Amino acid sequence: MRGGMACVFLLVLGAISRGVVRCLGDGDSVDGSVVTEATERPRPPHLIFIMVDDQGYADIGYHGSDIHTPTLNRLAAEGVKLENYYVQPICSPSRSQLMTGRYQIHTGLQHSIIRSRQPLCLPPDVPTLPERLVEAGYATHMVGKWHLGFCRPSCLPTARGFQSFLGTLTGSGDHYSYQSCDGAEACGFDLHDGDRPAWEMAGNYSTLLYVERVKQILRNHNPHQPLFLYLSLQAAHTPLQVPDHFLHHYDSQGNRLRRHYAAMLSCLDHGVGQVVQELKAGGLYQNSVLIYSSDNGGQPLSGGSNWPLRGGKGTYWEGGVRAVGFVHGPLLKKKGTVSRDLIHVSDWYPTLLGLAGASGSRHGLDGHDIWRTISEGLPCPRTEILFNIDPVSRRPGEPYDKALVLNGFGIWDTAVRAAIRAGNWKLLTGNVGDGDWIPPQALPVGPERWHNLEKRRNKLGKSVWLFNITSDPYERSDLAEAHPEVVKHLLRRLAEYNQTAVVPRNPPDDPMADPELRGGVWGPWLGLKGQEEDNEGKDGRKERMVKIKQCKVCQLKALFKKVGSRLQRNALFS
């Protein structure tokens, strides 16, 4: 009895001191001393990662934007603003590198996004960030957009380390009805709570719905267990939809697209404020680290702005890959600072694992642990970024003699889309996307939609560009001809990286992915329980062809669904 009372007494002491204590047992010191682990190692912090969709570099208040983001401005000002921070130019690549800490060339996801009907997802042999954090004792929750493939049940967020999930699997969809279309012939419902379709939640605006789920998670969380919360908002991705009361902040904005886009970000800003307030109310804030990041540059055709950077979403120009980002939290040693160190989205994987105290090998990672760089201002371990090497993008019939021998100095086929940043220098090859500068007043509106648009026409056959990003962040002075020695060095680096690349995985769309075959819901269609593989043998091929022919009826049904969905969007877009 006395021993039991001693245990209770020690536990009470532990609760008061917030340390971790243990009752003495056989083999402990005879003087009754207590070992307190908290004095040896601090508690792992709660990790909150907020990723937003298509927010442009110029679309946050502290970059001089016309968009009102008071909460984000304050959080960034109290934390560390990342002003040399890079992501990938489109959705899936940024998210895959966050989840794996590896460049696209090392996961086979070099080419484009993962399409809804594509039998493709994160490689199963690469451990994800939440999987590693679960091993370290974390509770892991995801809310929002996945966009990393779902062809098999083993590809879903709940199979890749997240203990709960509410959100969408595809790349985009209606913010209210959650209808998502891939092309003209495949449309379906895409809102999932765990592994089931959340039909009952349709009608709720995505940002507000996701923020409410986050608040619920925070209220129910045990503060003594470390938490990893990944909030992946679909805002401000198209379709441009938002509750009316956020639109009223921009009644004076004459550009319809910009008005809706701005209102979506103001709604997002309000939601982030609620998340932080809930962290504080639940006693989690003091031991938390909050990271905010856009997934790629803004899309000017949809109201976004990256001015004065060159290019936008889908390009390897600065406007496509330089992102809005900051870190906030009491655990930062130097607050209210600006970091101009070279940081990439792949760095969050080892950085968060380091904060979590997760053991295990860092072998195969392309990211770096940059916590002390951000928190203390110490030198950054990263000196270069491989944005990508995409051999699938090479135009058929592009002559090798000019691309490889002349432009590439015999080192690199410059018809291949690739980009690398090393120190101050940035090199681009191949078709890296439209390189226009689009001032805010040139955003699409009326008959003069491209007024003041700055266009740069490249010489015929040009396939190499070089810029000193430190002195020329807007990429206006191509120095490829002036510094051939730098071009050669960076071409060699591309060739060296390419030696480590895995074969790109870019399978064609599978007609069996059509949601009409599964009750009108997007979800896994391969490797399902009780499903027999029919890819082998004549009988299997015949059965598969019958199913594909039946899909033609599905295509017609889905086309009517898509038209209906678009009509609904127009009603919501006011």
Q: How far apart are the C-alpha atoms of 37 and 27, rounded to whole Å?
A: 18
- pLDDT value at residue 63: 97
pLDDT tens-digit series, residues 304-324: 999 999 999 999 999 999 999
Q: How far apart are the C-alpha atoms of 496 and 514, rounded to whole Å?
A: 40
* 162-182 average pLDDT score: 98
Angle between helix axes 256-281 and 206-220 (nearest 10 degrees) is 10
Q: How many CB atoms lie within 10 A of CB 515?
A: 26
Q: How far apart are the first and last CA of the chain?
A: 72
Instruction: Give the active site residues.
Output: 91, 147
For 432-476, give the DSSP string: -----B--GGGSS-STTTTTT-B--PPPTT--EEEEETTT-TT--
Question: Residue 352 above 80 pLDDT?
Answer: yes
Q: Cis bond leading into 308, ω under 30°?
A: yes
CA 435, chain centre distance (Å) = 23
Candidate from 155-164, 504-513, 538-547 with smallest mean pLDDT: 538-547
CA 451, chain centre distance (Å) = 32
Element (H, E) at 326: strand 325-328
Write out the two tokens for 211.
């923020």
pLDDT tens-digit series, residues 228-283: 999 999 999 999 999 999 999 999 998 999 999 999 999 999 999 999 999 999 99
Q: How confident is the model at residue 23 (pLDDT cuts 50, 70, 90)?
A: very low
Q: Find the length of the chain.
A: 574
Candidate from 30-39, 206-215, 546-555 with smallest mean pLDDT: 30-39
Listed residue (532, 527, 535, 504) closest to 156, CA to CA: 527
- pLDDT value at residue 15: 39
Q: How confident is the model at residue 453 (pLDDT cuts 50, 70, 90)?
A: low
CA distances 560 to 73, 181, 332, 573, Å, are 43, 11, 53, 20
Q: How confident is the model at residue 359 (pLDDT cuts 50, 70, 90)?
A: confident
Write out the two tokens for 500.
């480590």
- pLDDT value at residue 343: 98
- pLDDT value at residue 25: 35
pTM: 0.87
- pLDDT value at residue 452: 59
Q: How far apart are the C-alpha atoms of 315 and 287, rounded to whole Å?
A: 38
Long-range contacts from 196-205, C-beta under 8 angstroms, 24+ separation: 197/519, 197/521, 197/523, 198/166, 202/176, 202/177, 202/178, 203/176, 203/177, 204/176, 205/175, 205/176, 205/241, 205/242, 205/243, 205/267
Q: How far apart are the C-alpha atoms of 74 and 453, rounded to whole Å?
A: 33
Dihedral sign, Cα of residue 5, residue 10, residue 14, residue 17: positive
Contact indicator for 516, 185 with CB cutoff of 8 Å: no
* 454-481 average pLDDT score: 89
Look-up: residue for tokens 């090199």?
427
Write out the two tokens for 384.
């270069």
CA distances 566 to 244, 303, 521, 569, Å, are 19, 19, 18, 5
Q: Which residues of 185-224 are buried (b: 16+ CB within 10 A; e: fewer)?
A: bbbbbbbbeeeebbeebeebbbbbbbbbbbbebbeebeee
- pLDDT value at residue 362: 84
Q: Cis bond leading into 558, ω under 30°?
A: no
Q: How far apart are the C-alpha atoms of 126 and 571, rounded to whole Å?
A: 43
Q: Cis bond leading into 239, ω under 30°?
A: yes
Question: Residue 562 above 50 pLDDT?
Answer: no
Q: How far apart are the C-alpha atoms of 525 and 508, rounded to whole Å?
A: 15
Candidate from 130-144, 220-234, 245-259, 453-467 with smallest mean pLDDT: 453-467
Write out the two tokens for 277.
């307030």
